[in-house]
Copies of this chain bind each other. A is one copy, B any other.
């Protein structure tokens, strides 16, 4: 970020007609965006939402409350406008891209869905590498292309979303590997496992961690334990930051992708804003590792980028207040010191 612009934004916040600091985190958002965008008038529109979908071989271990066919069905639901992220994108006036990286169920050709299928889902991370090196490369390329499109379209904010039955198992395994935590500390119910289901999920992740050893290189961890969509999200985050587009990070899955991205490129951390704290219990540890304090804490745990979408109006409000409020001098209002 450009300290000249962030410093100027900080000074402006001091002279707007309000007690200093009284807009709380909204002041920080405006200052951060001003610095990143190198502008005195930060703004987030146009907003790009890119949802990456893929299936997970680890579903063979019975770790999800939903059958795997739901991934493909939800892709169709995104396209027909009935999914949560479809509704939110429409309400926001944000452009929504859906990228299919490979499902078990067939997805009919759909306008509005990019077919970038790599394979019919990853392999089972509990027994083998989830991806081949070539598959990892393809997933990373899909993510980077999404960032490139956002840049080409002049987007000022990028948000990624995920869809993939079984992906909290993959994301939790990645977080365990990168944060050197045990599955018991991070695994949760995902879409709705009961206690026995969470136990089984922990056991599957423990087996995977034992199998794949202690290599902490984040791309190696991605290939061993990742989903195609998590790899693409990590790459899209790196690609957005590299192209100067701030990223609004969604919940658990996207935060794990952000952790991978930051482990690859520590300097991109400053490009990340965090939308919400997920109800998925492992999210807090990932947020802590990223030194992130999200804007919202609504008990959401839906994925698709829905938590980030719900937070977009807060960023818009922060920018509008920063750009449009009168200063004490302009409004003829006496300041605290009686100036």
Contact = CB atoms under 8 A, between A and B. Distances in A.
A117 interface: no
A15 B242 CA distance: 41
B17 A82 contact: yes
B333 A26 contact: no
Contact of A192 (B19, B25, B77, B84): B19
Interface string A48-65: 000000000000000001
A23 B310 CA distance: 10
Nearest to A88: B317
Interface string A281-312: 00000000000000111111110001001100
A236 B81 CA distance: 39
A18 B335 CA distance: 50
A66 B334 contact: yes
Contacts of A317: 88, 91, 309-310, 313
Given A66-B334, A297-B297, A325-B83, A302 B77 contact: no
A67 interface: yes
A295 B295 contact: no
Contacts of A334: 66-67, 69-70, 73
Given A73-B334, A310-B314, A19 B320 contact: no
Copies per complex? Answer: 2
Nearest to A299: B24
A251 B31 CA distance: 24
A107 interface: no
Interface in A5-30: 16-26
A206 interface: no
A24 B301 contact: yes
A310 B299 CA distance: 19
Contact of A300 (B23, B301, B309, B325): B23
B330 A82 contact: yes
A170 B83 CA distance: 47
B80 A326 contact: yes
The 3 A-B pairs of least Cβ separation, nearest first, read: A82-B326, A24-B299, A313-B313
Given A24-B298, A24-B300, A83-B331, 8 more contacts: A17-B74, A65-B336, A73-B333, A76-B332, A81-B324, A88-B321, A192-B336, A313-B313
Interface of A: 16-26, 65-67, 69-70, 73-74, 76-77, 80-84, 87-88, 90-91, 190-192, 279, 295-302, 306, 309-310, 313-314, 316-317, 320-321, 324-326, 330-336, 338
